[in-house]
Amino acid sequence: MPNTTLNRHGDLAALLGRLNLTGMAALCADLALKAAKEGLSHEAYLYELARHEEELRLQRRSERLLRQSGLPREKTFRTFQLTRLSPALQLQLERLKSGTFLEQACNVIALGTPGVGKSHALAAVGHELVVQGHPVLWCSTASLVQRLLAAKRDLRLPQELTRLDKFACVILDDIGYVQQDRDEMEVLFTFLAERYEHKSVMLTTNLVFSEWQRIFKDPMTTLAAIDRVVHHSVILDMMSVESYRAEVAGQHHLSEEAGSALLNRNN
């Protein structure tokens, strides 16, 4: 390749780099060679460069949002056994993957006993939202409550709520696991009230709604909290789903029994 061509490619790559078009800069020389060989038009060459830049930016955005989200990396739909769920639940999750519920600020509540996959299901939806470019926050209810309490003590609760408002969806894991005291209940209720009909909340719980007074203590506050969470919501009723952990433990126990029986037979 003539030196003038090499220099032109080098100058173009440097210019694209200065413009922060790093994807285009990395590909411009190789794609120019391909365009010359295949007789691509200038428009086709520019389109391929721009498409590569867009793909790189989308990938970087997803990686940044994933780091910020706190989502468990392993809890995706690739590792989730959808076949354990009823067809109705599978359909609900498939619809949630589209992220359209965020447009109406709908909430999602996954109800079920421990070990049925509530957390995994909502985390998997969270991963899909991140890929689509939505900022998501995953945290335990206990850690969020402590975060809000610290902000309240420092007289910056409104600022903290504003910071959380930047997330299109906040996923609270185990809302019923820790029984909050009155101060904790109040900041949790404030958070839910702030996001009501404004931004989505997804949460997991092993408590049916009639038991939520264990969380919010006061009957009126409990009713108000349920009203804000359930109104405009999708409820994933996983109460009848068998515990995955119990199932694995049972299979492990059967394997051990079979191994022992085989060993005794050989002896």
Residue environment code for 235-249, b if the CB has 16+ CB neighbours within 10 A, otherwise e? ebebeebeebeeeee
pTM (two decimals): 0.78
Once rounded to an integer, what is the mean pLDDT over residues 250-258? 47
Q: Which domains, from first to last, does the chain contain? A: 3-68 (no CATH), 71-246 (3.40.50.300)
H helices of 97-179, in order, are 118-131, 141-153, 157-164
The full DSSP string for 25-68 is: HHHHHHHHHHHHHHT--HHHHHHHHHHHHHHHHHHHHHHHHHHH
Instruction: State how far the Cα of 27 lies from the Cα of 228, in Å rounded to an integer.
Output: 51
Binning pLDDT at 50, 70 and 90, where does residue 8 land? low
Once rounded to an integer, what is the mean pLDDT over residues 240-257? 58
Q: Which of 232, 235, 227, 225 is nearest to 191 (CA)?
A: 225
Residues 183-195: tens digit of each pLDDT: 888 899 999 999 9
Q: How many CA atoms lie within 13 A of 196 on its CB side?
A: 15
What's the pLDDT at 252?
Answer: 44
Position 251 pLDDT exceeds 80: no
- In terms of Cβ atoms closer than 10 Å to its own Cβ (0-12, 13-18, 19+), residue 14 is exposed
Report the number of secondary-structure helices (H) and strands (E) in the chain: 11, 5
Q: Share the mean pLDDT of the chain.
A: 85
| Cα separation values, 242 from 84, 88, 120, 205, Å | 8, 16, 14, 16
What's the pLDDT at 136?
Answer: 98
Once rounded to an integer, what is the mean pLDDT over residues 101-109? 96
Position 116 pLDDT exceeds 80: yes
Asked if 253 and 245 touch (Cβ cutoff 8 Å), the reply is no
Share of the chain above pLDDT 70, in %: 86
Angle (CA) 203-209-214 rounded to 5° is 90
Asked if 235 and 202 touch (Cβ cutoff 8 Å), the reply is no
What's the pLDDT at 254?
Answer: 45
| Cα separation values, 95 from 82, 234, 236, Å | 14, 10, 12
Instruction: State how far the Cα of 136 lies from the Cα of 231, in Å rounded to an integer.
Output: 21
Share of the chain above pLDDT 90, in %: 55
Position 88 pLDDT exceeds 80: yes
What's the pLDDT at 249?
Answer: 52
Residues whose CB falls within 8 Å of the CB of residue 31, separated by 6 or more in sequence, listed in order = 45, 48, 49, 52
Residues 33-71: tens digit of each pLDDT: 788 888 878 788 788 888 888 888 888 899 999 999 999
Residues 193-242: tens digit of each pLDDT: 999 999 999 999 998 888 888 888 788 988 999 999 999 999 999 988 88
Instruction: State how far the Cα of 104 lies from the Cα of 247, in Å rounded to an integer.
Output: 37
Once rounded to an integer, what is the mean pLDDT over residues 72-78? 96
What's the pLDDT at 179?
Answer: 60
